[in-house]
Amino acid sequence: MTAKITREDQLPPFANEPFSDFSKPHVRAAMEAALAQVGSELGREYPAYIGGQKVTATQKIRSIDPSCSSRLVGIVQDCPPELGDLAVQAALGAFESWSLVPAPERCEIFFRAKELLRQRRFEFNAWIIYEVGKNWAEADADVAEMVDFFDYYCRSMIRLNQPPELVQVSEEKNRLAYIPLGVGVCISPWNFPCAIMGGMAAAAAVAGNTVVSKPSEDAPVVATKLVELMIEAGVPAGVLNLVTGTGAALGAHLVRHPKVRFVSFTGSREVGCQVVENAAKVSDGQRWLKRVVAEMGGKNAIIVADDADLDSAAQGVTAAAFGYQGQKCSACSRVVVFDSVHDRFVEKLLAATRALTVGPAQDPSTNVGPVISGRAYEKVFHYIQLGKEEGKLLMGGERTESDGFFVPPTIFDEVRPGARIAQEEIFGPVLAVIRARDYDHALEIANGTAFGLTGAVYSSSPDRLERAAREFHVGNLYLNRKCTGAMVGRHPFGGFNMSGTDSKTGGPDYLLQFTQAKTVCAKI
């Protein structure tokens, strides 16, 4: 890639980064070597990055391995609000020059970051496995998605940089340009510590903005490694600033800062609503309304109709419910099954779930690893106890004696649509099975929550599938496949209602969130 690329047609067609095939001996050996190398580096301390400088704070945050809570992954800075202010100031100082860098030159930097991440793929996989408990395949998919984001967002910026056609008349010349907003705060979660954290920051920066990144305190080491990679690729000082700390103190302070122009947030509904509320308040010295891009979770349903391929449906529901321990905003936490096929489907669902292996994320045979933290562990078991009152426990639900935060895949049957375990986001490996009389009833149940992120329907009826496309009110609907696994460029991702602002990450319109359109009309 060179800075001479000014049009997308000068690039090869976009293609998603392939996943690693760990059944191949040389690929498996490379992953094992990366785990050993990263394992030898655990426990180190990492600075914050402000204006190109490494910065430390008095207080620290310890990041632990959820597969083995006695294992320290790394130590990062617990940055106070004052360091957040310095980061905003550094980003503000860098904005004037960075916003004037031609878009192809900005893209060249992030194309380089893509290649660096490709080269260090297994290393990043290993950090993700240690810090957030993803198994080998889930960690690899996280890194592959970030490779895609680097590539796709550069292409999107090159496309936006081409002046759109406006109506022209003889007495004037009209043009429109997409220009950056200013300083943005990116508050990212722990469940996709590479793809979401990096995707937010890269999209905002490639569009000409400067960024203050505040990752989750449960995944700060992966975030630090990715920021270091982008700096190595050539991101100038002050364009990308990293401050680690808690959401309640540091994150909330950054959202309220009068010099912040936009906030990009992924996390819970509760915190997302607070972000929207705080960003809406105009502070002294603030000259704009802050833009908020928010993705706030889901309570996603898969409908299994009486004409479904029940084997395929059982496999899809199992993967969507228990992949990464149900800790995806897209995860299936409700399966709505027609009465007439309920018993046969549940039998197949239980068989598919029993085939899963629970264990440490570092073990290549593990399907289901730990939940992220002790807090998450207790929250999930709170809902499991509630589920025992609201439904019939079919499997799972037991605590295990371990140094890790392991929750077995848990399935409740005979759950009412209005039950709390069918309405509230649990963010763990807990699935509610709900009976439906017919297709009308199934759609009513599926749409019967405050969320609207993902959903799926298994049916062989074209009419039913087309009706779902019209009436199943979610941002990402999947027909005859699982409701997780959105691919950049193929499945632009974002939800309705309390699932957020439907920003459609990995889609052709996403960079519009980080730009403003300026029209210039010149009289001839």
CA distance 391 to 388: 6
Amino acid letter for position 472: F
Element (H, E) at 62: strand 60-65
Cα angle value 145/150/155 (rounded, 5°): 120
Torsion of CA 305, 309, 310, 311, to 10 degrees: -160
Buried/exposed 495-517: b ≥16 CB within 10 Å, e otherwise: bbbbbbbbbbbbbeebbbbbbee
What 3-state class would DSSP assign to 101? coil
Is the distance from CB of 78 to CB of 246 less than 8 angstroms?
yes
CA distance 247 to 253: 9
Structure tokens, 332: 């299936």
Amino acid letter for position 298: G
Nearest alpha-carbon partner for 511 in 294, 207, 195, 155? 207
Please return the burial class of 148, using the count of CB atoms within 10 Å of its CB with bins 0-12, 13-18 and 19+: buried
Cα angle value 260/262/266 (rounded, 5°): 120
Nearest alpha-carbon partner for 499 in 482, 480, 483, 514? 483
Is the distance from CB of 515 to CB of 185 less than 8 angstroms?
no
Alpha-helix residue ranges (DSSP H) falling in 327-428 = 342-354, 374-390
Element (H, E) at 480: none
Amino acid letter for position 97: S
DSSP conformation letters of 233-254 = HTPPTTTEEE----IIIIIHHH
DSSP conformation letters of 32-46 = HHHHHHHHTTTTEE-
Is the distance from CB of 337 to CB of 491 less than 8 angstroms?
no
Please return the burial class of 401, using the count of CB atoms within 10 Å of its CB with bins 0-12, 13-18 and 19+: exposed
Is the distance from CB of 405 to CB of 69 less than 8 angstroms?
yes
Question: Which residues, 6 or more positions from 217, have their beta carbon under 8 angstroms from its beta carbon?
Answer: 61, 63, 244, 245, 246, 247
Active site residues: 295, 329
